[in-house]
């Protein structure tokens, strides 16, 4: 390894760079989170800077220490200057390696400083960045004799081209703060590549899902109906668009960003991915994982940690536009890094883009995914129809947007709440304050109109709703109270004989473990049923009879019926239709299925492969058994609640204690010792959509006196999860026989 790389890799952090972050964390954590004041760890910065140097060489034949400085480097959210500082250190290291202090002094004034641009919104990190860069140029971080020999004192003509202002809003830049030319270059998205230089945009822009910055990202919009487009307004997405536009104007360049990793495969960002692939010729994506929101773990089940003290997982994106005509499409390469924070630091500190093991990504134009997918899979999975194609009538569930008003545990509570909301003795402002609601919003909410609806509340509009998996509550189903009623599909769901499947489009948004984003409901359902990511409703039987006969109208596409009939060897289409619901539910609940297709389930709705008559019939019977225990009309519970008392849930955390040899234990809910008995370990650990079902049920009722029906519902749910164990084992036997056939099995 060259000496200059050894120097760049030295050091373990700088107190000046981290001091402000620690100060703000203690004094104003909300501002810290809002503005993304999280100093990028040195190994991450060094990986990015080294990679930029290698890409400059490989793609453009540009050396960072060459006279004339054939590149410009812009950090649009430079914070305390970590990336600018590291670039200066890395370039200086080359001159130190060649023992050329005179060349260093000439290069700084004529090539380096004029090519560095930075922008920072907050005054304190802006000043820290300036101080740190001056400190580095003076060589104060070097040992003697290098400190004296490679010392550069900023003269009156030297300018640190860092601007105080918001790079996303050119009009907000304070040109008088430092350098009018630098501010003009940033404000106009110009000054990059106008003299043939390669435009490099680098940094770690802030992540804020509710960004107040107004930069347009229309080019990143997607046509996916279920996409939650608010995430396209996250700050890092806007900074990505800013960087892309800057490189487009320059004609050639590199974007090197550390960002939230959500854009890599989330359907919301499909338009963003397609646009980036149109602009850039080559893309390198390194997923650092560490998503605490879904408690990510490594593939082997070991601990996975974030490289920052933040919840979202992160990724490094290196995007190259060569500026010459290309014959093919964009080449996307992917790599990922799991493990502890220190293990990731060690790996990043020893590698760069050239030494990272990349996997080429092949994906459809529609998905434009940045993660590789299998080109083949057992059971003919990749050729099988998606659940959305199998059951074409579907939509998201109810979106209330104001649960504190529209959702309650009982009809009586809900009607009382609506009466209080409509109370004419309160002003509109007092009501808004009491319920934590705005007077109006951009989604059509109008508090005054809603109060008129509430004043005439009709018990007939109170409906039951699967609010969370296994947690049925009630809501007031009326325009003006809830944001999206979605009755077109939900009207098909009406009781245990007219149930619906609930499935998540993208399992990776709910949990990093085995896919568990499927449930069944006999009522309306909440759009946010799962921990993260919407639950799509798939009614099993539709209103009205089929062709006027007494046969139910199944929500099954004719293509799927033909497909399943051919593979199951069943000529009677009615038999296929009757068995399909059980088959789908049995398949999607089988642990072996979830493990085998974990990668595919992470990114899209599950596919429904049918293999042969025996497995189709067997899984259908198993699925029907699961439906019987999961639906509210399941068998009588064996879980008991034997101790009399107030029944108030007194804890915020719950444990399963006194577990016997068969795996059954008790769950105590208050200091009086009231408890549920004969709760099995499997039931207690059971998750749905990323959340532990039984624990979530109790946590939601902390401080509340459990009604008799709530006690019964918990007991019934715990019993259902106990009884499903045998059925899930049977499903795994069926799948195991298919997957373990000699030579594998594909259709």
> For 692-706, how does the pLDDT look when each residue is reduced to its tens digit (9 = 90+)?
999 999 999 999 999
Q: Do 189 and 246 meet the contact criterion of CB atoms below 8 Å apart? A: yes
Task: State residue 216's pLDDT score.
Answer: 52
Asked which of 52-61, 111-120, 359-368, 665-674 is least confident by mean pLDDT, the reply is: 359-368
Token pair 């007219």 is found at 498
Instruction: Band the pLDDT of 219: cuts 50, 70, 90.
Output: low
pLDDT in tens, 594-618: 988 887 887 789 999 999 999 999 9
The average pLDDT across 227-237 equals 68
pLDDT in tens, 76-88: 999 889 999 999 9
Token pair 């019964």 is found at 712
Task: Answer with the residue of higher pLDDT: 318 or 267.
Answer: 318
Instruction: Band the pLDDT of 184: cuts 50, 70, 90.
Output: low
* Residue 177 predicted with pLDDT over 70: no
Task: State residue 154's pLDDT score.
Answer: 86
Q: How far apart are CA 507 and CA 604, in angstroms?
A: 7
Q: Report domain extents, the chain.
A: 3-360
Q: Does pTM surpass 0.85? A: no
pLDDT in tens, 12-43: 455 555 555 555 455 445 544 544 556 789 99
Architecture field, domain 3-360: 3-Layer(aba) Sandwich (3.40)
Asked which of 163-177, 304-318, 491-505, 620-634 is least confident by mean pLDDT, the reply is: 163-177
Task: State residue 305's pLDDT score.
Answer: 92
Instruction: Band the pLDDT of 172: cuts 50, 70, 90.
Output: low
Q: Do 233 and 105 meet the contact criterion of CB atoms below 8 Å apart? A: no
pLDDT in tens, 657-686: 999 999 999 999 999 999 999 999 999 999
* Residue 552 predicted with pLDDT over 50: yes
Task: State residue 23's pLDDT score.
Answer: 53
Task: State residue 376's pLDDT score.
Answer: 80
Instruction: Band the pLDDT of 395: cuts 50, 70, 90.
Output: very high
The average pLDDT across 422-430 equals 96
* Residue 224 predicted with pLDDT over 70: no
The average pLDDT across 724-735 equals 95
Q: Highest-confidence range of 58-72, 274-288, 305-319, 527-541, by mean pLDDT? A: 274-288
Structure tokens at 537: 């409703």
- Sheet of 314-321: strand order equals 162-164, 116-120, 71-75, 198-203, 253-260, 314-321, 282-289, 331-336, 359-360
725, containing H or E segment: helix 708-739
Instruction: Band the pLDDT of 158: cuts 50, 70, 90.
Output: confident
Task: State residue 30's pLDDT score.
Answer: 53
Q: Do 323 and 251 meet the contact criterion of CB atoms below 8 Å apart? A: yes
Q: Do 480 and 453 meet the contact criterion of CB atoms below 8 Å apart? A: yes
pLDDT in tens, 555-595: 999 999 999 999 999 889 999 999 999 999 999 999 999 98
Asked which of 214-223, 531-540, 554-563, 670-679 is least confident by mean pLDDT, the reply is: 214-223
Angle at 659 between CA 656 and CA 661, to 5 degrees: 150
Instruction: Band the pLDDT of 648: cuts 50, 70, 90.
Output: very high
Instruction: Give the mean pLDDT of the chain.
Output: 85
Task: Answer with the residue of higher pLDDT: 625 or 377.
Answer: 625
Task: State residue 59's pLDDT score.
Answer: 93
Task: State residue 745's pLDDT score.
Answer: 37
Instruction: Band the pLDDT of 190: cuts 50, 70, 90.
Output: very low
Token pair 């550069």 is found at 152
Task: Answer with the residue of higher pLDDT: 142 or 207.
Answer: 142
Q: How far apart are CA 310 and CA 32, in angstroms?
A: 11
Task: State residue 602's pLDDT score.
Answer: 79
Instruction: Band the pLDDT of 159: cuts 50, 70, 90.
Output: confident
Residue 433: burial class (beta carbons within 10 Å; 0-12, 13-18, 19+): exposed
Task: Answer with the residue of higher pLDDT: 156 or 347.
Answer: 347
Token pair 């304190």 is found at 124
Instruction: Band the pLDDT of 170: cuts 50, 70, 90.
Output: low
């Amino acid at each position: 390894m060259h000496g200059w790389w050894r120097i760049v890799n030295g050091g373990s952090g700088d107190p000046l760079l981290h001091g402000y972050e620690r100060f703000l964390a203690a004094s104003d954590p909300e501002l810290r989170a809002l503005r993304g004041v999280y100093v990028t760890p040195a190994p991450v910065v060094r990986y990015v800077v080294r990679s930029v140097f290698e890409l400059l060489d490989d793609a453009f034949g540009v050396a960072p220490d060459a006279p004339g400085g054939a590149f410009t480097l812009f950090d649009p959210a430079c914070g305390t200057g970590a990336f600018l500082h590291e670039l200066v250190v890395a370039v200086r290291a080359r001159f130190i390696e060649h023992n050329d202090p005179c060349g260093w002094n000439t290069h700084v004034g004529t090539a380096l400083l004029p090519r560095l641009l930075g922008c920072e919104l907050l005054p304190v990190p802006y000043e820290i960045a300036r101080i740190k860069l001056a400190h580095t140029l003076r060589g104060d971080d070097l040992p003697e004799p290098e400190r004296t020999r490679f010392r550069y004192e900023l003269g009156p003509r030297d300018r640190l081209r860092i601007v105080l202002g918001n790079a996303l809003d050119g009009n907000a830049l304070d040109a008088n703060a430092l350098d009018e030319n630098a501010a003009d270059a940033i404000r106009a998205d110009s000054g990059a590549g106008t003299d043939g230089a390669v435009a490099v945009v680098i940094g770690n822009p802030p992540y804020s899902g509710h960004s107040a910055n107004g930069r347009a990202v229309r080019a990143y919009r997607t046509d996916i109906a279920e996409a939650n487009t608010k995430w396209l307004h996250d700050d890092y997405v806007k900074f990505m668009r800013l960087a892309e536009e800057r490189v487009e104007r320059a004609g050639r360049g590199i974007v090197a960003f550390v960002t939230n990793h959500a854009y890599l495969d989330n359907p919301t960002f499909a338009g963003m991915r397609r646009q980036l692939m149109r602009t850039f010729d080559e893309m390198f994506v390194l997923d650092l994982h560490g998503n605490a929101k879904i408690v990510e773990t490594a593939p082997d089940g070991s601990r996975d940690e974030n490289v920052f003290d933040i919840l979202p997982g992160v990724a490094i994106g290196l995007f190259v536009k060569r500026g010459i005509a290309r014959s093919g499409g964009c080449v996307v390469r992917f790599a990922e890094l799991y493990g502890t924070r220190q293990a990731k630091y060690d790996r990043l500190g020893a590698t760069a883009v050239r030494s990272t093991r990349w996997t080429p990504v092949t994906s459809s134009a529609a998905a434009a995914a940045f993660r590789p997918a299998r080109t083949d899979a057992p059971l003919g999975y990749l050729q099988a129809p998606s659940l959305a194609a199998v059951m074409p009538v579907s939509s998201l569930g109810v979106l209330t947007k104001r649960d504190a008003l529209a959702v309650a545990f009982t009809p009586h509570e809900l009607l009382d709440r609506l009466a209080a909301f409509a109370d004419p003795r309160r002003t509109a402002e007092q009501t808004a304050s009491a319920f934590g609601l705005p007077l109006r919003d951009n989604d059509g909410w109008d508090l005054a109109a809603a109060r008129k609806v509430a004043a005439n509340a009709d018990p007939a509009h109170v409906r039951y709703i699967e609010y969370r998996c296994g947690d049925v509550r009630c809501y007031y189903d009326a325009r003006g109270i809830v944001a999206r009623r979605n009755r077109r599909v939900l009207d098909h769901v009406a009781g245990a004989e007219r149930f619906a499947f609930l499935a998540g489009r993208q399992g990776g948004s709910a949990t990093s473990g085995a896919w568990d984003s499927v449930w069944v409901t006999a009522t309306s359902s909440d759009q946010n049923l799962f921990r993260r990511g919407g639950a799509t409703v798939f009614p099993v039987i539709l209103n009205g009879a089929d062709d006027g006969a007494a046969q139910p109208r199944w929500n099954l596409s004719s293509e799927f019926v033909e497909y399943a009939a051919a593979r199951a060897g069943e000529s009677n289409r009615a038999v296929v239709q009757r068995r399909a619901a059980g088959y789908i539910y049995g398949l999607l609940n089988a642990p072996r299925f979830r493990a085998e297709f974990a990668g595919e389930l992470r990114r899209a709705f599950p596919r429904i492969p049918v293999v042969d008559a025996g497995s189709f019939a067997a899984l259908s019977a198993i699925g029907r058994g699961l439906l019987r225990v999961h639906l509210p009309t399941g068998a009588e519970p064996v879980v008991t609640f034997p101790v009399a008392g107030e029944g108030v849930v007194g804890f915020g955390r719950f444990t399963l204690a006194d577990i016997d040899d068969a795996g059954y234990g008790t769950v105590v809910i208050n200091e009086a010792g009231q408890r549920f008995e004969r709760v099995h370990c499997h039931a207690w650990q059971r998750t749905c959509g990323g959340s532990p079902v039984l624990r979530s049920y109790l946590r939601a009722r902390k401080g509340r006196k459990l009604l008799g029906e709530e006690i019964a519902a918990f007991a019934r749910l715990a019993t259902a999860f106990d009884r499903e164990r045998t059925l899930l084992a049977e499903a795994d036997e069926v799948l195991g026989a298919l997957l373990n056939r000699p030579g594998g099995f594909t259709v």
